[in-house]
């Protein structure tokens, strides 16, 4: 028996628990929180190391074998997602120590962050569609609180839109899961894959496709794809920078993960319909995101729209559904989570230095003039996002565009390239306005010694920038891992074999009182 597939869920929950027990002492909370994040990262590394061999780890909760109980399945894709969640979580927790204000911290900020991480990791590891819904709810509930904590006017305005649209998405998800259970009679994802194939063979494919579209809408809202993305730029710029970095890095990617999972494992029989829609969605998402960004002048709103356009690239890979394209999606997610979380963290530092996040206003001092290191640390993720070689974003885009060329999807190649250039334009806009420009007339008080950026904020940014450079320079191992993950995703029988195993030979074992 191997506990590894469940540890990334248990560690953050345990950390949250300890943080709540010691909630009167801020120091205890911070220590526990960082220790928990480190432990999660270690568990994630172990998980990735195990799955890198091509092995798929499973654990049947309570000893109830699949497909009757809830199975946790860690394949290469799930494991790398958990590692990314852990890395982002660790960076954000360290960054929070120096940047999040005291009242928020006192109001269970750290435990909530860890509950969010538990939900995210659970979503990546669960092999049961209803359990996936539960994990979505866990991460959503904690994100609701994190988003509205502090009760500032703008925050609540953003939170209302965020909560409403996400609840609608959850309701659709739940209905879809119910319909799926009614149609196929199971909730285990591996079993669903088998049953969906049977249903299609029996000529029952239309019912499956209808449910597939419900899932696409629900996950599409979570992933913020065209035309369901409006909640994202309305809310992500309102909470503290650490919180929006966590959200930007992880939450939409859980939606993308869910889309990739169900549209490679379960709904692969009517690809001419479902995946063509995904293809259109991908292109429109890329374009509308990047055009939206061009119209914005607030640091985090620009970045928020870029999340949307980047989601388009990820969806493009799964829509093309070739081994190279899906590997491109995996690589893209790896690159994107690190870069995006980092950009939001840098935005926090820039806000601190300039005294404003508005790109139209001059701010009290230019970032490059007063803190050149911060400016360089912005440059790395920003250029990576735009796809400038040799950073991680270049390889991610290269793989996807190669895959699209192989499929003769020239329109999508053109869109992807154009959106890349537009992204570069956006990043240069931020660079020029917020970092390069030194105001002639200084607004507000000049920065004092107390305004100097604390190491606790710079260290996570530097670490994430280091990862971005490392992925860029050593793209081969990451690419090989992505190919491995894509191979598993495109051959559902591997996943099914690992998750169901000999379930039908000895259906009920353990879990029963003697």
Partner 1 sequence: MNSTILQTATRYLLPLLLVFSIVVMLQGHNKPGGGFIGGLIGAAGFALHGMAFGPNATRTALRADLVVVMALGLAFALVAGCLALASGQPFLTGLWVSVPFPGFGEVKVGTPLVFDIGVYFVVIGVVMTIVLSLLEENA
Cβ within 8 Å of residue 296, ≥6 positions away:
233, 302, 305
Min dist. Cβ of residue 511 to partner 1 (A)? 6
Min dist. Cβ of residue 9 to partner 1 (A)? 9
Alpha helices (runs of H) in 149-239, residue ranges in sequence order: 153-184, 189-201, 205-223, 231-235
Tell the burial category of 167 from Cβ atoms under 10 Å away from its Cβ (0-12, 13-18, 19+): middle
* Nearer of residues 15 and 288 to partner 1, judged by Cβ: 15
Backbone angles phi, psi at 358, to 5 degrees: -80, 125
Min dist. Cβ of residue 82 to partner 1 (A)? 16
Share of the chain residues as helix, strand and coil, in percent rounded to the nearest 5: 75, 5, 20
Distance set, CA 465 to CA 184, 333, 377 (Å): 46, 16, 7
Cβ within 8 Å of residue 394, ≥6 positions away:
384, 387, 388, 472
Min dist. Cβ of residue 135 to partner 1 (A)? 15
* Nearer of residues 125 and 311 to partner 1, judged by Cβ: 125
For residues 281 and 401, what is the distance between their CA atoms, to the nearest angstrom? Answer: 17
For residues 413 and 408, what is the distance between their CA atoms, to the nearest angstrom? Answer: 9
CA atoms within 13 A on the CB side of 141: 9
Min dist. Cβ of residue 120 to partner 1 (A)? 18
Min dist. Cβ of residue 71 to partner 1 (A)? 10
* Nearer of residues 10 and 156 to partner 1, judged by Cβ: 10
* Nearer of residues 11 and 416 to partner 1, judged by Cβ: 11
Residues forming contacts to partner 1 in the complex (CB under 8 A) are: 1, 3, 6, 10, 13-14, 16-18, 20-21, 23, 59-63, 108, 510-514
Torsion of the alpha carbons at 234, 89, 487 and 64, rounded to the nearest 10: -100
For residues 169 and 181, what is the distance between their CA atoms, to the nearest angstrom? Answer: 18
Min dist. Cβ of residue 125 to partner 1 (A)? 12
* Nearer of residues 16 and 212 to partner 1, judged by Cβ: 16
Whether residue 207 contacts residue 183, with contact meaning beta carbons closer than 8 Å, is answered with: yes
* Nearer of residues 59 and 245 to partner 1, judged by Cβ: 59
Whether residue 303 contacts residue 357, with contact meaning beta carbons closer than 8 Å, is answered with: no
* Nearer of residues 132 and 399 to partner 1, judged by Cβ: 132
Distance set, CA 302 to CA 111, 148, 163, 237, 385 (Å): 29, 21, 21, 9, 13
* Nearer of residues 3 and 414 to partner 1, judged by Cβ: 3
Distance set, CA 165 to CA 173, 213, 304, 447 (Å): 12, 18, 17, 40
* Nearer of residues 62 and 507 to partner 1, judged by Cβ: 62
Min dist. Cβ of residue 288 to partner 1 (A)? 39
Min dist. Cβ of residue 92 to partner 1 (A)? 22
Min dist. Cβ of residue 302 to partner 1 (A)? 37
CA 208 to chain centre: 27
| H or E stretch covering 357 | none
Min dist. Cβ of residue 69 to partner 1 (A)? 9
Task: Identify the three-state secondary structure at position 58.
Answer: strand
* Nearer of residues 441 and 513 to partner 1, judged by Cβ: 513
Min dist. Cβ of residue 510 to partner 1 (A)? 6
* Nearer of residues 14 and 205 to partner 1, judged by Cβ: 14
For residues 184 and 193, what is the distance between their CA atoms, to the nearest angstrom? Answer: 10
Task: Identify the three-state secondary structure at position 474.
Answer: coil
* Nearer of residues 19 and 460 to partner 1, judged by Cβ: 19
* Nearer of residues 154 and 511 to partner 1, judged by Cβ: 511
Alpha helices (runs of H) in 62-128, residue ranges in sequence order: 76-99, 102-106, 109-125
Min dist. Cβ of residue 20 to partner 1 (A)? 3
For residues 51 and 53, what is the distance between their CA atoms, to the nearest angstrom? Answer: 5
């Amino acid at each position: 028996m191997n506990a590894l597939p469940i540890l990334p869920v248990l560690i953050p929950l345990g950390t949250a628990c300890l943080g709540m027990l010691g909630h009167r002492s801020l120091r205890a909370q911070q220590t526990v929180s960082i220790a928990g994040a480190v432990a999660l990262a270690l568990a994630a590394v172990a998980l990735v190391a195990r799955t890198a061999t091509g092995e798929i780890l499973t654990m049947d909760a309570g000893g109830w074998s699949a497909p009757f109980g809830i199975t946790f399945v860690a394949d290469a894709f799930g494991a790398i997602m958990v590692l990314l969640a852990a890395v982002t979580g660790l960076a954000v927790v360290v960054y929070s120590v120096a940047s999040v204000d005291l009242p928020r911290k006192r109001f269970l900020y750290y435990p909530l962050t860890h509950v969010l991480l538990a939900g995210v990791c659970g979503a990546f590891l669960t092999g049961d569609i209803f359990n996936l819904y539960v994990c979505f709810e866990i991460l959503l509930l904690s994100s609701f609180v994190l988003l509205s904590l502090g009760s500032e006017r703008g925050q609540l305005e953003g939170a209302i839109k965020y909560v409403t649209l996400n609840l609608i998405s959850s309701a659709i998800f739940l209905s879809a899961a119910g319909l799926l259970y009614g149609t196929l009679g199971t909730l285990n994802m591996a079993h669903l894959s088998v049953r969906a194939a049977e249903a299609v063979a029996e000529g029952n494919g239309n019912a499956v496709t209808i449910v597939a579209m419900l899932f696409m809408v629900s996950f599409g809202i979570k992933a913020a794809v065209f035309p369901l993305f409006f909640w994202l730029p309305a809310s992500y710029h309102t909470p503290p920078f650490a919180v929006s970095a966590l959200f930007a890095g992880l939450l939409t990617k859980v939606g993308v993960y869910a889309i990739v999972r169900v549209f490679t494992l379960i709904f692969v029989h009517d690809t001419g319909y479902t995946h063509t829609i995904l293809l259109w969605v991908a292109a429109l998402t890329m374009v509308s995101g990047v055009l939206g960004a061009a119209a914005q002048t607030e640091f985090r709103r620009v970045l928020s729209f870029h999340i949307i356009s980047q989601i388009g690239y990820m969806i493009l890979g799964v829509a093309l559904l070739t081994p190279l394209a899906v590997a491109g999606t995996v690589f893209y997610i790896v690159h994107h989570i690190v870069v995006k979380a980092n950009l939001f963290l840098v935005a926090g530092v820039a806000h601190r230095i300039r005294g404003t996040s508005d790109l139209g206003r001059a701010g009290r001092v230019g970032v490059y003039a007063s803190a050149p290191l911060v400016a360089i640390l912005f440059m790395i993720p920003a250029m990576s996002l735009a796809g400038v070689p040799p950073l991680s974003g270049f390889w991610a885009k290269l793989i996807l565009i190669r895959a699209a060329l192989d499929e003769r999807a020239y329109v999508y190649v053109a869109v992807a390239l154009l959106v890349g250039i537009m992204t570069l334009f956006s990043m240069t806009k931020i660079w020029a306005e917020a970092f390069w420009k030194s105001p002639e007339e200084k607004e507000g008080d000049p920065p004092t010694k107390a305004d100097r950026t604390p190491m606790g904020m710079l260290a996570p940014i530097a670490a994430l920038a280091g990862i971005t450079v490392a992925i860029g320079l050593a793209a081969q191992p990451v690419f090989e891992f992505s190919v491995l993950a894509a191979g598993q995703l495109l051959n559902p029988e591997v996943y099914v074999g690992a998750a169901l195993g000999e379930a039908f030979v000895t259906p009920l074992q353990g879990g029963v009182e003697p």
